[in-house]
Structure 1
Amino acid sequence: MEAVAPACVAQRTATVLENVAVAHETFRIRLDDPEMARSILPGQFLMIRGGRGSDPLMGRPFAVYDVARDPSGTPTAVDVVYLVIGRGTAALATLRAGDRVTIWGPLGHGFGPPPEGPVVFVAGGIGQTPFLALGKWWLGHEPFGPVETVSSDSPGRFASSATLLYGVRTAALAAGVDDFERAGITVELATDDGTAGHHGFVTQLLERRLERGERPAKVIGCGPPPMLAALSRLVARYEVPCDLSLENHMACGFGACFSCVAPIRQADGSIDLRRVCVEGPIFPAADVVWTG
């Protein structure tokens, strides 16, 4: 499955429409930017610099969570969900409606067209964030981006079902579960401490399904590297198609700094470092090289 090429990138300021808590230390910020809302695709991301003055100096990358629409269905704003883990996200959490932030995007490549059949999203930590928009698109519920991604004239184009397997440290960190369920995406939780759902690794939920003989048309993973490495090994064993959305640390977001490179296997079998911000963030699981 080929990723969708990025649209033209632009840097500008956007007004915060709301910034609300959705879980422990987790927020959803809505940015008034109709141009970004019309152009961004599921899987792409934007950089946000939310501090006042020059601190923090660099922006932070965030996957598009959803696109807000007016009553006519026209895209008007972009939603991002973030976990407070450092100075950049702590600065974002202080913003209120009416504040202005610097943003640039859309960045990276979006996901390719939907497969026909069931799809499974596997998320760890804050890795669920790319999957709400993707699920809406792949299930045929909403269009995204500058091209028509939903068409009632093409039955059978879309995924038959979507399931989110979502792993967090503790139940208080599970963010947006209601959003996914309202979008028709089934959610199964796994927690490290057993406070909700399966007590253990989120990859174990997928392994159970595969052991029962279930065969997803596609698996998509996003989360911390150890989880993605385990997911890659699992889907390889069962020969299930899988793409990964990598979360490598980024400084610039447009390929100049080379801070986000990942070792990716090439068609000739060689391994080369690829910039996640420009050539990703989505790569076939079989092409990502994990060490250790």
Structure 2
Amino acid sequence: MNATGLDCSQHALSAAYYADAARQRSVKIVENTPLSRDTFRLRLASPELASHILPGQFLMIRLPSHESPLLARPFALYDTWCDDSGTPLGLDIGYLVVGKATRLLKAMRTGDSVEVWGPLGNGFLPQATEHLIMVAGGIGQTPFLALGREYLGGRPYGNPGREVPPANKVTLCYGVRSKQFAAGIEDFENAGISVKISTDDGSLGHHGLVTDLLKQTLDQRLGQCRIVCCGPEPMMHAVARIAHEREVPCQVSLETPMACGIGICFSCVTKVRQLEEDPTGEVWDYKRTCVDGPVFDAAKIVF
């Protein structure tokens, strides 16, 4: 506990969430499995990283056998994997093949090694809610499997495992271009998460926007709600507006491109309102997504 009475082990401004607590390791690939078209799950063997990472945090991953791309890429925690006793053995990340780094990552096989440092950034705070609504677009579902599992009491995360007030229900509202891009649906359903899908072409679920599903879910009034969101910026902006109109707390996990991941290069800055100084929200400052985020209060982001 600190002077303000906050438990620093669960507070986003604790030094435990910053790069000075990160670990850099060469780790083995256990699996590189397709989840859907162009989307893969990379399973890494690292008990140390798996035992410390929290939902919403991320890793920087670099391919050691390649000089191009030289820089690492950020990947959010998808989930940890454990032995029969529940001891974490490693972690999973999800990725979409969109550029040179992810094309090379797709080609890696079991037994290959990658350079990893993390856990990085601050994750989702363990705030109480009766109904956790997770809104994702594209590859934005990847931070939410661990979070949903945690809120349903399926698995503790962190060392020591943090206590999260259990939710009565967890819903994933997931928007993709078409059904062939819907990734990891069974993983979420097997964790006890209710999944609602929207597609741009109507090939699966609701034909329309994922924000339509969010509004429908909020209209059901299944207890006190909290929203978390990750995906394309226009979608996150729309979700933030809906949350503001409905007076529902909302956090967004930004997908800002990063170069270092540890707060040195300032390439991942985003505009954040300084509401503590100016309740009108007109005063803002640049914050580094990698160390001040990637999770922010949606009301503070200048989209």
CA distance in 2, matches of 1:17, 1:201: 36
Which of 2, 8, 12 lines up with 1:3 in the alignment?
12
CA distance in 2, matches of 1:212, 1:19: 38
CA distance in 1, matches of 2:127, 2:284: 28
SS of residue matched to 2:84: coil
Count of residues paired in the alignment: 285
Give CA deviations for 1:267-289 in whole Å, capped at 9, x if unaligned: 11220000000000011111011
SS of residue matched to 1:179: helix
Counterpart of 1:143? 156
TM-score (norm 2): 0.90
Q: Structure 2: give runs of 5+ residues left out of the alignment.
A: 1-9
Against the structure 1 CA distance between its residues 213 and 133, is the aligned structure 2 distance closer, same or farther, given a 3 Å change threshold?
closer
Counterpart of 2:186? 178
SS of residue matched to 1:181: helix
- CA deviation after TM superposition for structure 1 residue 150, in Å: 4.8
Q: Structure 1: give runs of 5+ residues left out of the alignment.
A: 152-156
Higher mean alpha-carbon deviation, 231-240 vs 210-219, is at: 210-219
Which of 213, 221, 239 lines up with 1:205 in the alignment?
213
Amino acid aligned to 2:184: G
Against the structure 1 CA distance between its residues 4 and 126, is the aligned structure 2 distance closer, same or farther, given a 3 Å change threshold?
farther
- CA deviation after TM superposition for structure 1 residue 105, in Å: 0.5
Q: Write the mapping of 1:187-202 to structure 2, written as runs, cut at 5 A.
A: 187-202=195-210
Give the conservation status (yes or no) of the 8 Å contact 1:248–1:260: yes
CA distance in 1, matches of 2:288, 2:105: 26
Counterpart of 1:32? 45
Counterpart of 2:83? 70
CA distance in 2, matches of 1:233, 1:116: 20
Q: Write the mapping of 1:276-287 to structure 2, written as runs, cut at 5 A.
A: 276-287=289-300
**Residue 22 in 1 paired to residue 31 in 2?**
no
Counterpart of 1:154? none
CA distance in 2, matches of 1:88, 1:148: 33
Give the conservation status (yes or no) of the 8 Å contact 1:17–1:97: yes
**Residue 268 in 1 paired to residue 277 in 2?**
yes
Which of 96, 99, 124 lines up with 2:137 in the alignment?
124
- CA deviation after TM superposition for structure 1 residue 207, in Å: 1.4
TM-score (norm 1): 0.94
Against the structure 1 CA distance between its residues 122 and 34, is the aligned structure 2 distance closer, same or farther, given a 3 Å change threshold?
same
CA distance in 2, matches of 1:216, 1:165: 17
- CA deviation after TM superposition for structure 1 residue 257, in Å: 1.0
SS of residue matched to 1:159: coil
SS of residue matched to 1:227: helix
Against the structure 1 CA distance between its residues 228 and 113, is the aligned structure 2 distance closer, same or farther, given a 3 Å change threshold?
same
Give the conservation status (yes or no) of the 8 Å contact 1:166–1:189: yes
Give CA deviations for 1:189-219 in whole Å, capped at 9, x if unaligned: 0001111011111011111233455554210
CA RMSD of aligned residues (A): 1.6
Q: Write the mapping of 1:145-164 to structure 2, written as runs, cut at 5 A.
A: 145-150=158-163, 157-164=165-172
Counterpart of 2:59? 46
CA distance in 1, matches of 2:241, 2:64: 40
Give the conservation status (yes or no) of the 8 Å contact 1:215–1:240: no
CA distance in 1, matches of 2:230, 2:66: 32
Counterpart of 2:226? 218
- CA deviation after TM superposition for structure 1 residue 4, in Å: 6.9
Give CA deviations for 1:125-160 in whole Å, capped at 9, x if unaligned: 000000000011111111001122358xxxxx2111
CA distance in 1, matches of 2:104, 2:73: 11
Against the structure 1 CA distance between its residues 147 and 4, is the aligned structure 2 distance closer, same or farther, given a 3 Å change threshold?
farther
Give the conservation status (yes or no) of the 8 Å contact 2:126–2:163: no
CA distance in 1, matches of 2:45, 2:63: 14
